[in-house]
Structure 1
Amino acid sequence: MASRVLRKRTKAYKRRCGVPLMVKIESCLPSLRAPRLGGGGWCHDVESCNARKYTNLGSSNRMERQVPFTGILSNLPSNNPDFSDWNIVVIRYCDGASFSGDVEETNQNGTTLYFRGQRIWKAVMEELFLKGLATANKALLTGCSAGGLATYIHCDDFKALLPNAETVKCMADGGFFLDVKDISGKSYIHDFYSDVVHLQDVGKRFPNCISQMDATKCFFPEEIIKGISTPVFVLNSAYDSVQVQSMLVPSSSDPSNS
């Protein structure tokens, strides 16, 4: 089914993002809450991030006004027996760093870009508290792909917001990206993540981790999950098409492209 759209203009959000907040809500039982963090890859330099701002992955001004709620988002018990009566909130993704960047400067080499995913996360949670999240008895933070990575990053943050809830858990769907070499022996995804981390100052999101290792390593789930205390369910295909095509066999690994 199509979702209902909440498009909220607030001064707080405008300071963080430069565009109106957009989340999509399907309302059911008030005590059951399941925010879902959207995915859509990452941008690793000014050029790629600038290109994204003209798409639905870079600005809420360009996002669809309705999206289908299917799978774990569905309100049909036959399709989604466990969560069909939960309040579902889809949080659209536009920062290009899994809701984890935080850069005050908006002038990036002459281009205006907002690297403020961490502030987006905070602004959305504040808005959802006003919409009833604060009274949740059971809550599940989920996310897919880049949103799955964001779920690992913010899992304990989410639990800390709901100290009185009976149950708070997380489920990352397809977000366990591996720090491995591609078929040519190069560290393609590590180098790509390194660009993301340094461009958006993601390292300060992991103060304990960066005191022990390079900030880029701290952006991989294999390191993030070591510090998560909240129950988290890892859902990942053994043959993740995104990882196979974009990380293990990227176009740069083709000898004819060298």
Structure 2
Amino acid sequence: MVKQIPFSGILNNKRIFNPDFYNWNRIKVRYCDGSSFTGDVAAVNPVTNLHFRGARVWLAVMEDLLSKGMRNAENAILSGCSAGGLASILHCDSFRALLPMGTKVKCISDAGYFINTRDVSGGHYIQTFFDQLVATHGSAKNLLPSCTSRMKPGLCFFPQNIAQQIRTPLFIINAAYDSWQIRNILAPGIADPHGHWESCKLDIKNCLPSQIKTSGYNSWLHCFD
């Protein structure tokens, strides 16, 4: 029995909620690899039995969809939210390359524009995290060569370093106050061991003037000007 999955946003099949795309063929790819589908490590972790093969999952899914009719699409949109939004940026041009030249292809990233900025302690928590992620998953070979030829692979996981190099039309949607990035990039727990930012990072109205004026916070807001 096929399980019915409720869709929302541009995947909704109700014209009243999704007038532009309600009658399109819609495919939801479950996120399962932790690297926005860029990982490619042949060996399996002997301790955890984890597989770091997101790029292979991506290609397998695309090949299956192409064989089921996607190769005949007149219009195609690759979209995603959060880590999926990052995946839609990282794979935008490769998705375009899979389809015939006559197909109109666009990419939409929703809340996937993760910023490389200093945290409230002045450190580079998210940069270190992405460096480790790329190393663990063996992602370097699947990131944009035009970026990895100029800087270390971990930096090429940040949209700000690759978005301008993408040739396919790319639309980016991101809230000016991105609560996940405030909590996990600007003020992660490791950068705020005493919890001084706990209230502020959950609601900007709770921030003290001194917190608003910190260079890291001002830099963060400036990214969305």
TM over 0.5: yes
Contact 2:116/2:127 (8 A) holds in 1: yes
Q: Deviations over 1:133-160 (max 9, x none)?
A: 0110000000110000000110001111
Q: Tell me which residue corresponds to 1:165.
A: 102
- 2:176 is aligned to 238
Contact 1:151–1:171 (CA under 8 A) maintained in structure 2 = yes
Partner of 1:254: 192
RMSD: 1.6
Alpha-carbon distance, 1:66 to partner: 4.4
Structure with greater strand share of residues? 1
Q: Distance in 2 between matches of 1:165 and 1:241?
A: 39
Report the identity percentage.
Answer: 49
CA deviation after TM superposition for structure 1 residue 165, in Å = 3.5
2:221: which partner in 1? none
Tell me which of the two structures has the higher relative contact order, counting C-alpha pairs closer than 8 angstroms and 6 or more residues apart: 1
Amino acid paired to 1:132: G
**Among 156, 166, 169, which residue is 1:228 paired with?**
166
Flag the structure with larger Rg.
Answer: 2
Counterpart residue number, 2:121: 184
Is this contact kept in 1: 2:89–2:109, CA < 8 A?
yes
SS of residue paired to 1:142: strand
Q: CA deviation at 1:199?
A: 0.5
Contact 1:171–1:233 (8 Å) recurs in 2:
yes
* Aligned equivalents of 1:248, 1:66: Cα separation in 2: 38
Contact 1:170 1:230 in 2 (8 A): yes
Letter in 1 for 2:27: V
Q: Which one of the candidate residues 53, 61, 66 is aligned to 1:129?
A: 66
Deviation at 1:188, TM superposition (A): 1.0
TM-superposed deviation, 1:216: 0.8
User: What secondary structure is seen at the aligned counterpart in 1 of 2:27?
Assistant: strand
Conservation of the 8 A alpha-carbon contact between 1:169 and 1:230? yes
Runs of 4+ in 1 over 6 A off after TM superposition: none
* 1:69-88 alignment runs, 5 A limit: 69-88=7-26
Separation in structure 1 between the aligned mates of residue 125 and residue 5 of structure 2, nearest angstrom? 33
Determine the C-alpha separation between the residues in 1 that align with 2:187 and 2:40.
31
Q: Secondary structure at the match of 1:143?
A: strand
CA contact (8 A) 2:36 2:84 kept: yes
Secondary structure of 1:222's match?
A: helix
More deviation, 234-243/159-168 = 159-168
Alpha-carbon deviations, 1:92-141, whole Å to 9, x = none? Answer: 01101100011011135x33111001000100001101221011000000
Q: As a proportion of its length, which structure holds more helix? A: 2
Gaps of 5+ in 1: 6-64
CA contact (8 A) 1:134 1:162 kept: yes
**Structure 1 residue 148 and structure 2 residue 85: aligned?**
yes
The runs of 5 or more residues in structure 2 that have no matched partner are 196-225
With structure 2 as the length reference, what TM-score do the two structures score?
0.82
Matches within 5 A, 1:51-66: 65-66=3-4
CA–CA distance in structure 2, aligned partners of residues 71 and 208 of structure 1:
33
Q: How many residues are paired up?
A: 194
Match of residue 137 from structure 2: 200
Tell me, in whole angstroms, the C-alpha distance in 1 between the residues paired with 2:193 and 2:165.
39
